Structure 1
């Protein structure tokens, strides 16, 4: 019987060992999404550009929304809002697909010797590509409206690292649960929508009463959304001590997700 390792280092070893397969699969995933469309992969650029334009018009011109900063403009609201949505979309794109990763690939389980643990890497890699395009659109809009972005933009990959590790661990858990409980995918669709409104995406955390802010900060999306806005728009450096704690907690969570996946994968073929 095949042995599945649960050593924490195996998470890294598996990624490195299968890096070529992961890279090729991510490329196929990205181009496959736009196959047959007239504009092809250019849609990955036009989609965030169109959404940013819509947000600017609706929240700025129609609703005349401001971010709660004295003297703030509608354009500022749109850019700050879009910065939060980019983080949420990264999370949503990865997590919503996680419960069906194994179910939708039964041949990988039954007929092919395939490293199933890399499937979340592929989905997250595709989501990172779309995030990178969105960030490029955001930076382009910032330069057109304000000029050179703050130097703190360089910290964005650093603050995304623990968030991506957390998503990876959660994806492993959901991919396994999705095999045994088919209702998980339905629940996750509702949960991610709820998390969008329970995160500081459309409003600043300071808009909530003091007693509710603790609940907001228990949401794993909250710190990354706020850090992203700090480095992209407000020009603030992240709190590196908090970021280190977040990274350690995310790594532990990812390992627990990996252990769960490895322990339960033995029954995938029987259920499918």
Structure 2
């Protein structure tokens, strides 16, 4: 009995170590060959925030909801980075099996770890940028309720589970349907504009506003903005619903991945 427990622990440690190495390898590969290296981890989110703020806040004169006394750039930034983490995580995860096809054929590895590492590294990098942006907003005079960060962290964890489930399912299907790789970026672009990130839900005509509730990302954006912009520090029932949605997506994606993974090598 003790030997079996030790073997299970050793296997768990081995998987954790391998996953950690894959995540670190994926993060390092993003910066290899860059002259300024890790400096871009700080500069990129600030430059991106400046561009989005200028285009949508100055040129298109987008505005925040009535009664909310904050700059538009703050309204945008608080929701934009979670979306960037989600969309890039899913897209990178969906390509993980195809991109590592040579590794799969040569090394005995748990294939789902390739997807998990891709999704996780995308989230880690964008969350680092998210913290930089929040600090920049605070330093430029925009009141950010940092006391709400624990609630936001829980919300982003549920979003990570949702992205992981989608990544696993799409990675499995994409092995057999290669055209999906070309379609997904366009579909995510539509999804972005159907999510209230650049605009407030109240700005839509009443006949369209009900459709936003069918978009799960609407609920995640609301749960991220509440603690940071309105100071809603305590998580509510909506967060439990998002957690259930994330776990359900993860379970379904993992089941689909495990069901199709025995046939990967025949199509890679």
TM-score if structure 2 supplies the norm length? 0.88
- In the alignment, which residue of structure 2 is the partner of 1:113? 108
Greater alpha carbon shift after TM alignment, 206-215 vs 153-162: 206-215
Q: CA deviation at 1:70?
A: 4.2
Q: 1:92 aligns with which of 69, 74, 87?
A: 87
Q: Distance in 2 between matches of 1:32 and 1:98?
A: 15
**What 5-or-longer segments of structure 2 have no aligned partner?**
1-10
Q: Judge conservation of contact 1:31–1:41 (CA < 8 Å) in 2.
A: no
- In the alignment, which residue of structure 2 is the partner of 1:123? 118
Q: Distance in 2 between matches of 1:62 and 1:254?
A: 40
Aligned residue-pair number: 258
Q: 2:134 aligns with which of 115, 131, 139?
A: 139
Q: 1:53 aligns with which of 42, 50, 53?
A: 50
Is the aligned partner of 1:79 residue 2:79?
no
Greater alpha carbon shift after TM alignment, 19-28 vs 174-183: 19-28
- In the alignment, which residue of structure 1 is the partner of 2:149? 153
- In the alignment, which residue of structure 1 is the partner of 2:33? 36
**What 5-or-longer segments of structure 1 have no aligned partner?**
1-13
Greater alpha carbon shift after TM alignment, 36-45 vs 56-65: 56-65
Q: Distance in 1 between matches of 2:245 and 2:232?
A: 23
Q: Distance in 2 between matches of 1:16 and 1:131?
A: 27
| RMSD across aligned positions (CA) | 2.2
Residue-by-residue CA offset, 1:82-102 (whole Å, 9 max, x unaligned): 122111111111122233211
The secondary structure found in structure 2 opposite 1:202 is coil
> How has the CA–CA distance of structure 1 residues 246 and 17 changed in structure 2, closer, same or farther, with 3 Å as cutoff?
farther
Residue-by-residue CA offset, 1:25-72 (whole Å, 9 max, x unaligned): 111111111111111121121111111122333333434432132474
Q: 2:216 aligns with which of 175, 197, 220?
A: 220
